[in-house]
Structure 1
Amino acid sequence: MSEVTAFSTYQTRSTLLVERERALDARRAGVSDLRQMVAMLTTENRAREEQLAAERSRFRDRKAAQDAKVSTKETEARTQQNRISVLEEEERQLNKTIAERAKEIRTATAEVERRRDLERTLHDAREGLNKAKFALEENDAKVMRLETRLARQELITDKRHAQLTGRVPQYWFPRVPEVDKSASLEDTAGESVYLVDELA
């Protein structure tokens, strides 16, 4: 009986050992699977971290580039605003200059019109002076012709007076200078000629 009991106990122990071995093998396999899974997850995590680092680097680069573009745009905007301010000031100055030039043009136009009026007045005055000068020259010519005629007539009268005095010395014939000075020269000359013609 003791042998049977010992054998049964041995079998039981053997079975327990086998089951324990199987359990240990299963645990070892599970641990190995877990280790493989951890290694795989670690590799995957490392790859994801590297990818994330690369994406972060690209994001920083894009952000830096975008910030640079924004800064450039802001600088350009400030430059354009300053240019607009300068152009607006230039426009104000130009408008002021245009207004001043327009005023000067109006003043110059008024001065030109005044000078034109003065030129017309001077032209009319010159025409009047020329007409007066022409009339004076005509009068001078008439006076010269009359003086020439009078001198010629005086010569003729003196000649006839001398002839008459020589022909009829008993008569007295007044000479032209001895006649009334208030009479005109033409009347005196005509009277002398009339006397000469009467006695001729």
Structure 2
Amino acid sequence: MTKIALIITSTRTERFADRPAAWVAERLRREGLEVDVVDMRDHDLPSFDGPSPMYAPRRYATPAIAEFGRHVDEADAYVVLASEYNHGYTGVFKNAADHLFAEWDRKPIAFVAWGNVGGARAVEQLRSVAVEFGMAPIRPAVHILPDVLVPAMTAPTYDAELFAALEPRLDALVEELTWWTNALGSGRAASPEVVAAHA
């Protein structure tokens, strides 16, 4: 069973993120895939101020960091839900991600984002950061542009049909993410000592 962590990066009180999160989670739940919804609201982490996790793998300063680390470590792949704030992604997620390294290393990551340009600028930043973690950011992404964003945001309740136009993009994302998950999982299993040394 492949475990995919679906990471909600927005912590705003009246956030839109819950609606795409529900849609993506529904589409991810298929044979062979297990979804772990990781909501940054549930992980109130201190500002990162410790030694580099690259050189101190899995040495957690607090139980909260350890809990977040466990979710990330147990996942085989990630789908990050990225709301774009001021041409970037959320500081909450950047701080949380920086507490870890080995947990992310040599795993694939994909992005579903929204904003005036579909969250493209946030995704561009996230791709660069993912590479520094030793991850494989996959090419397909889902960008929720205003033609879908506004109706989905202003609807009285969550309605999956409002995201229907994006289903082919999400299916392409899942197909590519699954391929990379299998390939990198086999690689990690075949060379665990190399992975450990790299971490």
Question: TM-score under structure 2 normalisation?
Answer: 0.15
Q: Normalized per residue, which structure has more strand?
A: 2
Bigger proportion of residues as helix: 1
Higher relative contact order (CA 8 A, sep 6+): 2
Which structure has the larger Rg? 1
